Amino acid sequence: MDYIYVNKMLKIPIYKQISNAIAKAIDEGLLTYNDRLPTEKEVCRTFSISPTVVKMAYEDLISENRIKRIKGKGTFVTNRFVFHTPLHEFYQIDSRVLSQNLSFKYQDIMFDQIEDDITAYRMLKLNKGELCYVILRVIKANQNPVILQKIYLPEKYYPKLHQNHEESDRLFDIVEKKYNHKVKHMHNTFSPMNASSDEALLLKINTDDAIYYVRSKMVDEKDHILGYIANYFPGEFTEFEVMVHAL
Protein backbone atom coordinates (compact mmCIF):
# COMPACT_ATOMS: atom_id res chain seq x y z
CA MET A 1 0.00 0.00 0.00
CA ASP A 2 3.06 2.26 0.07
CA TYR A 3 2.24 3.43 -3.47
CA ILE A 4 -0.71 5.43 -2.09
CA TYR A 5 -0.01 8.94 -0.77
CA VAL A 6 -2.62 11.16 0.86
CA ASN A 7 -2.09 14.81 1.78
CA LYS A 8 -5.12 16.04 3.69
CA MET A 9 -3.90 19.63 3.47
CA LEU A 10 -4.39 19.79 -0.28
CA LYS A 11 -7.55 21.03 -1.97
CA ILE A 12 -7.54 17.98 -4.25
CA PRO A 13 -10.30 15.59 -3.06
CA ILE A 14 -8.85 12.67 -1.12
CA TYR A 15 -10.65 10.11 -3.26
CA LYS A 16 -8.94 11.64 -6.30
CA GLN A 17 -5.53 11.54 -4.61
CA ILE A 18 -6.03 7.83 -3.96
CA SER A 19 -7.24 7.01 -7.47
CA ASN A 20 -4.42 9.09 -9.02
CA ALA A 21 -1.81 7.36 -6.86
CA ILE A 22 -3.05 3.89 -7.83
CA ALA A 23 -3.28 4.87 -11.51
CA LYS A 24 0.31 6.14 -11.38
CA ALA A 25 1.48 2.89 -9.77
CA ILE A 26 -0.21 0.94 -12.58
CA ASP A 27 1.29 3.16 -15.28
CA GLU A 28 4.80 2.82 -13.81
CA GLY A 29 4.57 -0.95 -13.44
CA LEU A 30 4.54 -1.01 -9.63
CA LEU A 31 1.14 -2.65 -9.95
CA THR A 32 0.54 -5.10 -12.77
CA TYR A 33 -2.31 -7.22 -14.04
CA ASN A 34 -4.04 -9.32 -11.35
CA ASP A 35 -2.27 -7.61 -8.44
CA ARG A 36 -4.65 -7.44 -5.51
CA LEU A 37 -5.42 -4.00 -4.08
CA PRO A 38 -5.97 -3.41 -0.35
CA THR A 39 -9.55 -3.69 0.84
CA GLU A 40 -11.57 -0.54 1.38
CA LYS A 41 -11.44 -1.17 5.14
CA GLU A 42 -7.64 -1.44 5.06
CA VAL A 43 -7.33 1.89 3.24
CA CYS A 44 -9.81 3.49 5.65
CA ARG A 45 -7.87 2.37 8.72
CA THR A 46 -4.48 3.32 7.28
CA PHE A 47 -5.43 6.87 6.30
CA SER A 48 -8.25 7.48 8.82
CA ILE A 49 -10.80 8.29 6.14
CA SER A 50 -14.39 7.28 5.52
CA PRO A 51 -15.42 4.20 3.52
CA THR A 52 -17.30 6.47 1.12
CA VAL A 53 -14.06 8.19 0.08
CA VAL A 54 -12.31 4.90 -0.68
CA LYS A 55 -15.35 3.58 -2.52
CA MET A 56 -15.36 6.71 -4.69
CA ALA A 57 -11.65 6.23 -5.47
CA TYR A 58 -12.15 2.61 -6.49
CA GLU A 59 -15.27 3.43 -8.52
CA ASP A 60 -13.22 6.07 -10.32
CA LEU A 61 -10.63 3.45 -11.31
CA ILE A 62 -13.28 0.90 -12.26
CA SER A 63 -14.86 3.42 -14.64
CA GLU A 64 -11.43 3.79 -16.32
CA ASN A 65 -11.11 -0.04 -16.66
CA ARG A 66 -7.99 -0.02 -14.50
CA ILE A 67 -9.29 -2.27 -11.73
CA LYS A 68 -12.11 -4.76 -11.21
CA ARG A 69 -13.96 -6.24 -8.26
CA ILE A 70 -14.43 -9.99 -7.99
CA LYS A 71 -17.14 -10.90 -5.51
CA GLY A 72 -15.74 -12.80 -2.54
CA LYS A 73 -12.13 -12.36 -3.66
CA GLY A 74 -11.28 -8.66 -3.68
CA THR A 75 -10.24 -5.86 -6.01
CA PHE A 76 -7.61 -6.44 -8.68
CA VAL A 77 -5.67 -4.55 -11.33
CA THR A 78 -7.26 -5.35 -14.68
CA ASN A 79 -5.86 -2.94 -17.28
CA ARG A 80 -3.70 -4.81 -19.73
CA PHE A 81 -2.56 -4.26 -23.31
CA VAL A 82 -4.59 -6.24 -25.85
CA PHE A 83 -2.43 -7.20 -28.81
CA HIS A 84 -4.44 -6.73 -32.01
CA THR A 85 -2.90 -7.65 -35.36
CA PRO A 86 -3.70 -9.10 -38.79
CA LEU A 87 -3.15 -12.83 -38.58
CA HIS A 88 -0.27 -12.84 -41.08
CA GLU A 89 1.63 -10.03 -39.33
CA PHE A 90 1.62 -11.19 -35.71
CA TYR A 91 5.42 -11.49 -35.64
CA GLN A 92 5.73 -7.69 -36.06
CA ILE A 93 4.67 -7.33 -32.47
CA ASP A 94 7.32 -4.81 -31.44
CA SER A 95 6.35 -2.23 -34.07
CA ARG A 96 2.67 -2.58 -33.16
CA VAL A 97 3.36 -2.12 -29.45
CA LEU A 98 5.60 0.88 -30.03
CA SER A 99 3.05 2.49 -32.36
CA GLN A 100 0.72 2.68 -29.35
CA ASN A 101 3.36 4.44 -27.23
CA LEU A 102 3.68 1.54 -24.81
CA SER A 103 6.93 0.57 -23.15
CA PHE A 104 8.36 -2.52 -24.83
CA LYS A 105 10.83 -5.10 -23.59
CA TYR A 106 12.36 -8.45 -24.51
CA GLN A 107 13.14 -10.57 -21.46
CA ASP A 108 15.19 -13.70 -22.12
CA ILE A 109 14.89 -16.07 -19.19
CA MET A 110 16.90 -18.95 -20.64
CA PHE A 111 19.59 -19.52 -23.28
CA ASP A 112 20.81 -23.06 -23.90
CA GLN A 113 22.22 -25.47 -26.47
CA ILE A 114 20.54 -28.84 -26.99
CA GLU A 115 21.10 -31.99 -29.02
CA ASP A 116 17.56 -33.30 -29.20
CA ASP A 117 13.92 -32.19 -28.85
CA ILE A 118 11.31 -34.36 -30.50
CA THR A 119 8.94 -31.62 -31.70
CA ALA A 120 11.52 -28.94 -32.50
CA TYR A 121 13.89 -31.31 -34.32
CA ARG A 122 11.06 -32.69 -36.42
CA MET A 123 10.02 -29.16 -37.41
CA LEU A 124 13.63 -28.17 -38.13
CA LYS A 125 14.41 -31.44 -39.93
CA LEU A 126 17.43 -31.96 -37.68
CA ASN A 127 18.92 -35.29 -36.69
CA LYS A 128 19.49 -36.23 -33.07
CA GLY A 129 22.95 -35.06 -32.10
CA GLU A 130 22.92 -31.94 -34.28
CA LEU A 131 23.30 -28.89 -32.07
CA CYS A 132 20.54 -26.34 -31.70
CA TYR A 133 20.25 -23.16 -29.64
CA VAL A 134 17.08 -22.53 -27.66
CA ILE A 135 15.95 -19.19 -26.25
CA LEU A 136 13.05 -18.85 -23.84
CA ARG A 137 11.77 -15.28 -24.18
CA VAL A 138 8.92 -13.18 -22.81
CA ILE A 139 7.91 -10.06 -24.73
CA LYS A 140 6.26 -7.41 -22.55
CA ALA A 141 4.23 -4.26 -23.11
CA ASN A 142 3.89 -1.94 -20.10
CA GLN A 143 5.40 -4.68 -17.90
CA ASN A 144 2.71 -7.20 -18.91
CA PRO A 145 3.53 -10.29 -21.00
CA VAL A 146 2.18 -10.17 -24.53
CA ILE A 147 3.80 -13.35 -25.81
CA LEU A 148 5.93 -16.23 -24.59
CA GLN A 149 8.36 -17.64 -27.15
CA LYS A 150 10.52 -20.75 -27.33
CA ILE A 151 12.96 -20.02 -30.16
CA TYR A 152 14.99 -22.84 -31.73
CA LEU A 153 17.91 -21.93 -34.02
CA PRO A 154 20.11 -24.66 -35.57
CA GLU A 155 23.77 -24.19 -34.71
CA LYS A 156 24.79 -24.91 -38.32
CA TYR A 157 23.06 -21.70 -39.42
CA TYR A 158 24.06 -19.64 -36.37
CA PRO A 159 27.62 -20.60 -35.42
CA LYS A 160 28.83 -19.18 -32.10
CA LEU A 161 25.45 -17.63 -31.36
CA HIS A 162 26.17 -18.08 -27.65
CA GLN A 163 28.97 -15.52 -28.06
CA ASN A 164 27.01 -13.10 -30.25
CA HIS A 165 23.57 -13.11 -28.67
CA GLU A 166 22.18 -10.15 -26.72
CA GLU A 167 18.86 -10.08 -24.89
CA SER A 168 17.72 -6.99 -26.80
CA ASP A 169 18.14 -8.69 -30.20
CA ARG A 170 15.01 -8.95 -32.31
CA LEU A 171 14.61 -12.41 -33.80
CA PHE A 172 14.75 -11.12 -37.37
CA ASP A 173 17.84 -9.05 -36.55
CA ILE A 174 19.60 -12.23 -35.43
CA VAL A 175 18.56 -14.08 -38.57
CA GLU A 176 18.95 -11.40 -41.24
CA LYS A 177 21.44 -8.88 -39.85
CA LYS A 178 23.80 -10.87 -37.67
CA TYR A 179 23.88 -13.99 -39.84
CA ASN A 180 22.84 -12.58 -43.24
CA HIS A 181 20.07 -15.09 -43.90
CA LYS A 182 17.08 -14.09 -45.99
CA VAL A 183 13.66 -15.20 -44.76
CA LYS A 184 11.49 -16.02 -47.76
CA HIS A 185 8.35 -16.81 -45.81
CA MET A 186 6.95 -17.82 -42.44
CA HIS A 187 4.89 -20.98 -42.16
CA ASN A 188 2.47 -20.72 -39.22
CA THR A 189 0.10 -23.20 -37.61
CA PHE A 190 -2.47 -21.89 -35.12
CA SER A 191 -4.09 -23.94 -32.35
CA PRO A 192 -6.20 -23.05 -29.30
CA MET A 193 -5.18 -24.72 -26.06
CA ASN A 194 -5.20 -24.31 -22.30
CA ALA A 195 -2.21 -22.85 -20.48
CA SER A 196 -0.04 -25.19 -18.43
CA SER A 197 1.09 -24.00 -15.01
CA ASP A 198 4.50 -22.83 -16.26
CA GLU A 199 3.03 -21.05 -19.30
CA ALA A 200 0.45 -19.37 -17.08
CA LEU A 201 3.14 -18.25 -14.64
CA LEU A 202 5.20 -16.58 -17.37
CA LEU A 203 2.17 -15.04 -19.10
CA LYS A 204 0.66 -13.87 -15.79
CA ILE A 205 -2.63 -15.65 -16.36
CA ASN A 206 -4.35 -18.56 -14.65
CA THR A 207 -3.59 -22.21 -15.27
CA ASP A 208 -5.99 -23.62 -17.88
CA ASP A 209 -6.82 -20.16 -19.25
CA ALA A 210 -7.23 -20.15 -23.02
CA ILE A 211 -4.12 -19.36 -25.05
CA TYR A 212 -3.21 -19.32 -28.74
CA TYR A 213 -0.41 -21.71 -29.60
CA VAL A 214 1.31 -20.69 -32.83
CA ARG A 215 4.08 -22.81 -34.35
CA SER A 216 6.21 -20.87 -36.81
CA LYS A 217 8.93 -21.95 -39.23
CA MET A 218 11.27 -19.48 -40.94
CA VAL A 219 12.18 -20.66 -44.43
CA ASP A 220 14.78 -19.18 -46.78
CA GLU A 221 14.92 -19.06 -50.59
CA LYS A 222 16.57 -22.50 -50.70
CA ASP A 223 13.83 -23.97 -48.49
CA HIS A 224 16.21 -24.30 -45.55
CA ILE A 225 14.37 -24.10 -42.25
CA LEU A 226 16.26 -21.32 -40.46
CA GLY A 227 14.37 -21.53 -37.20
CA TYR A 228 11.34 -22.80 -35.35
CA ILE A 229 9.38 -20.71 -32.84
CA ALA A 230 6.69 -21.91 -30.45
CA ASN A 231 4.58 -18.85 -29.61
CA TYR A 232 2.09 -18.65 -26.74
CA PHE A 233 -0.39 -15.74 -26.68
CA PRO A 234 -2.78 -15.16 -23.75
CA GLY A 235 -6.21 -15.61 -25.32
CA GLU A 236 -8.00 -12.93 -23.32
CA PHE A 237 -5.48 -10.30 -24.39
CA THR A 238 -4.89 -11.22 -28.02
CA GLU A 239 -7.03 -10.40 -31.05
CA PHE A 240 -6.12 -11.77 -34.47
CA GLU A 241 -7.70 -10.10 -37.48
CA VAL A 242 -8.58 -12.30 -40.46
CA MET A 243 -9.21 -10.79 -43.90
CA VAL A 244 -11.57 -12.76 -46.14
CA HIS A 245 -11.76 -11.76 -49.80
CA ALA A 246 -14.90 -12.64 -51.74
CA LEU A 247 -14.41 -14.22 -55.16
What CATH number does the domain containing 132 carry? Answer: 3.40.1410.10
How far apart CA 165 and CA 20 sit, in angstroms, is 41
| Same domain assignment for residues 163 and 71 | no
| Same domain assignment for residues 68 and 121 | no
Q: With CA atoms as reference, report the closest residue to 131 among 156, 166, 151.
A: 156
Alpha-carbon torsion, ordered 89, 94, 97, 99, to 10 deg:
-90
| Same domain assignment for residues 61 and 110 | no
pLDDT at 96: 62
Residue after which a domain boundary falls, among 77, 105, 124:
77
| Same domain assignment for residues 146 and 232 | yes
Q: Strands 104-114, 132-141: parallel, antiparallel or unpaired by DSSP?
A: antiparallel
| Same domain assignment for residues 125 and 32 | no
Residue after which a domain boundary falls, among 77, 92, 127:
77
What CATH number does the domain containing 43 carry? Answer: 1.10.10.10
Q: Strands 83-86, 238-241: parallel, antiparallel or unpaired by DSSP?
A: parallel
How far apart CA 175 and CA 157 sit, in angstroms, is 9
- Flag whether 1 is in a domain: no
Read off the amino acid at residue 68: K
| Same domain assignment for residues 87 and 67 | no
pLDDT at 97: 62
Overall number of domains in the chain: 2
Which residues lie across from 227 on neighbouring strands?
Answer: 218
pLDDT digits (tens, 9 = 90+) for 110-166: 999 999 999 999 999 999 999 999 999 999 887 788 899 999 999 999 999 999 898
CA distances for 15 relative to 22, 54, 78, 98, 167, angstroms: 11, 6, 20, 33, 42
| Same domain assignment for residues 69 and 154 | no
Task: Determine the structural domain holding residue 132 and report its residue range.
Answer: 83-241
Query: Could you give the 3-state DSSP secondary structure of residue 30?
Result: coil
pLDDT digits (tens, 9 = 90+) for 186-233: 999 999 999 999 999 999 888 999 999 999 999 999 999 999 999 999
